[in-house]
Amino acid sequence: MNEVLLLARRSVVRTLRQPAMIVPALVFPLLLLSINSSGLESATHLPGFPTDSYFQFALAIAFVQGALFSANSAGTNVASDIESGFLNRLSLTPLRRVSLILGQLTGILALGLIQALTFLGVGLAFGEGIAAGVGGAVVIVLLSLTISLAFGSIGAFVALRAGNGEAVQGVFPLFFAALFLSSMTLPRDLIEIEWFQTVATWNPVSYMLEGFRSLVIEGWNAEALALGFGCAAGVAVIAMAAASSALRTRMVRT
Amino acid sequence: MSNAAIETSGLVREFKKGPRAVDGIDLRVEPGEVYGFLGPNGAGKSTTVHMLTTLLPPTAGRAWVAGHDVVEDGPAVRSAIGAALQEAALDPYLTGREHMRLQTALHGMTGKESRERTDVLLERVGLVQAADRRVGGYSGGMKRRLDLALALVHRPRILFLDEPTTGLDPQSRSALWEEVQRLASDRGVTVFLTTQYLEEADVLADRVGIIDRGHIVAEGTPEALKDEIGRPSVEVIPALAEDLPHTRQVLSRFGESVTGSPKGASVRLAGGDAQLAEVVRALDSEDLQIQELQLHAPTLDDVFLAKTGRSLEGEAEPAPAAA
C-alpha cells in the first residue's frame, strides 16, 4: 500500500506541475458546456425532452469529457516514463507491478476529483441545482471518479502497449468520437437517425451520461445509476486488466 | 553458485526480425573490479547490461550476478545491484530531492533513514545546492550525477554504468570518473562500465572486454591488450601535399599501413620503435620535407582494429577531451 501511495503522490505532484495538462482538462469541458447550453437550448422544446434547461442536460457532458482528459493524462504520463527509462528505474526496485498501475491511477483520480468538484461547483452556480440533493452531488463525484478510472486505465493500456506518447495522442480523438456517438446532445429516444440511435444504445458512454443526468434532472433513478456505474466499472475492470497484462510484457524483469 | 561478482556463460540475446545482439559471450568479473565493456554503437553492450540487470531475459546461456542466476533469482540480483542506464531515467517534473526520497522509500527506507541517505548521496555527487530544483532544469552532467546517486541508494555491491559519460562536457566527465574510482577503491564496489570511449576504458577499467557485433573479441587489462599489439605506429605529414603518395611509398617499406590523419601516411613499424631512425633517414634520402612526424604507442583502438579490421574511433561519436 505504501508503494501505491508513493507513486500516487508522485503522479499527483507531476500532474499539478504541468498546467498544460490541468488547464485544458478543466477549461475545454466548461467551454463545450457553455457553447452547448446556449446553442442547443431550443432542443428543450422537443416533445419528451426531460428538462427545460439545456444547461442541466449538458452538465453531464462536462464530467465525461473531463474524464476523457484523464485517459490522455494517464497515457501521456505512462508513455513518458517508458520513453525516459523511468519505468526501468522502477523495475530495478522491489516495486510490485500492480502498485505501479494503482499508483498512476490514484494520481488520475486526484485530477478527476479536482475536475468533478469544479464542474459540480459550476453546475450549482449556473444551473438549477441537483435534483437528487447533497447525496446526489456526492454520487456524481463518485461516478465521475469511476469514469476517470475507466478512461485513465484505457490511456495507461495504450501507453504500455505502444510505449510512446504519439500513440496516446493518436487514440485521444477516438475517445471524443465515442462521446459524440452517444446520447451526448439528445436523449436516446429523441435521436431520429436509426443507426445513430443504435450506436448510442450500444455505447457505454451513453449510460455514463444518463447516470449523471438522472441525478441532476430527475432525482434518484436506481436503473440509470446502476447502468451508469455498471458501464463505468465494467470498462474500468477490462481496461485495468488489459493495462496489467501490457505492463507484464513491458516490465519484463526476470 | 558462482563466487564471481558477474559471470556469464554462452549468453545470447536474439531479437525478433533482428540479428543476435549478443552472441554467446563468456565473461567473469571479480569482486571489487572495474570492468570496462568497450565497443561501438550497436555492438551489444546495452543489451548485455539489460540482461545482467534482469531487465531483459536472455534467449540462451546463463548469467550470475552477485552469485544469483539472473533468470531464476531476479529479485536477489536486483537487491545486490545498482544501475545507471544509458539515458538518465529521471522525471523532469520532480526535484532531485524528491527523486531521492522516492527511491529510498521504494527500497524500504523511511523517515530519518531516508532523509539521511538522501543528504549523504546528494552531498557526495555535489547536488546539495540544486537538490530542490526540478530536474528538467538540470544540465546533462547534473542529471548523470543524480542518476548515479539514485543507483547507490541501497548500497549496492555491484554497479552497472551504461555509457555514463556520453554527451557530457569534460568537467562533468572527470567528476564522474573520480566518483567511480572512489566507489571502487574506497568502498570495494564492483563496477561494470560500458563505454564507446577508449580513454574512459583506459583510465577507469582494471580489465577491458572489447565487444563487436555481439562477440567479445578481446579481453584483458588495457596494458596487456596494448602489449599484445606490441608495435608502435609512425605517422608522417609531408610539408607539401603533393608529396603524400611518395611519403606513403617510402613508409610502406617499414610496415603495414594503418588509419591516420588524411593529410599524412601512417604505418605500424614491423621492427618496433627502433626503426624510427631508419624511417627518418629514408625520408631524408628521398628529399621529402616533413611537417610533422609522430610515434604512436599502441592504443585500445589499435587493439580493436587488429581484432575487427575496423577502427573504433571512426564508429563512435567523438568524445570531448577530459579536463
Residue A95 and residue B254: Cα distance in Å, rounded?
Answer: 62
Domain that holds residue A207: 2-250
Residue of A nearest to B101 (CA): A6
- Which run of H or of E encompasses B205? none
Q: Report the amino acid identity of residue B236.
A: V
Q: Report the amino acid identity of residue B295.
A: L
Q: Answer whether 0.90 is exceeded by the pTM.
A: no
Contacts of B83 in chain A (CB under 8 A): 92
Overall fold of domain B6-221: Rossmann fold (3.40.50)
Closest CB from A10, A85, A92 relative to B78 = A92
Residue B120 and residue B126: Cα distance in Å, rounded?
Answer: 10
Residue B143 and residue B138: Cα distance in Å, rounded?
Answer: 6
Residue A20: per-residue pLDDT? 85
The CA–CA distances, whole Å, from B179 to B183, B187, B205 equal: 6, 11, 13
Cβ contact A13–B98 (<8 Å): yes
Residue A117 and residue B63: Cα distance in Å, rounded?
Answer: 54
Closest of A171, A161, A183 to residue A64, by C-alpha = A183
Contacts of A18 in chain B (CB under 8 A): 93
- Identify the residue among B65, B93, B100 best suited for mutation to test binding to A, counting A beta carbons within 10 A and taking the highest: B93
Residue B197: per-residue pLDDT? 84
Cβ contact A14–B91 (<8 Å): yes
At the top level of CATH, the class of B231-297 is alpha beta
User: Does the structure's ipTM exceed the value 0.90?
Assistant: no
Cell of B140: 546533462
Cell of B71: 533468470
Closest of A29, A107, A126, A32 to residue A69, by C-alpha = A29
Q: Is the dihedral of CA A100, A77, B139, B51 positive or negative?
A: positive
Contacts of A10 in chain B (CB under 8 A): 91, 94, 98, 102
Q: Which residues pair with B295 in a beta bridge?
A: B234
Cβ contact B107–A94 (<8 Å): yes
pLDDT in single tens digits along all 254 residues of chain A: 588 889 999 988 988 898 888 899 999 999 999 999 989 988 999 999 999 999 999 999 999 999 998 888 889 889 999 998 899 899 999 888 888 888 888 888 988 999 999 999 999 999 888 999 999 999 999 999 999 999 999 999 999 999 888 898 888 888 889 999 999 999 999 999 999 999 999 999 999 999 999 999 999 999 999 999 999 999 999 999 999 999 988 887 76
Cell of A46: 422537443
Residue B240 and residue A140: Cα distance in Å, rounded?
Answer: 86
pLDDT digits (tens, 9 = 90+) for A170-205: 888 888 899 999 999 999 999 999 999 999 999 999
Residue A53 and residue A49: Cα distance in Å, rounded?
Answer: 10
Query: Do residues A136 and A222 lie in contact, with contact meaning Cβ atoms separated by under 8 Å?
Result: no
Residue B226: per-residue pLDDT? 80
Domain count, chain A: 1
Contacts of B85 in chain A (CB under 8 A): 85, 88-89
Specify which of A111-115, B47-51, B301-305 reaches the highest per-range mean pLDDT: B47-51
Q: Where are the domains of chain B?
A: 6-221, 231-297
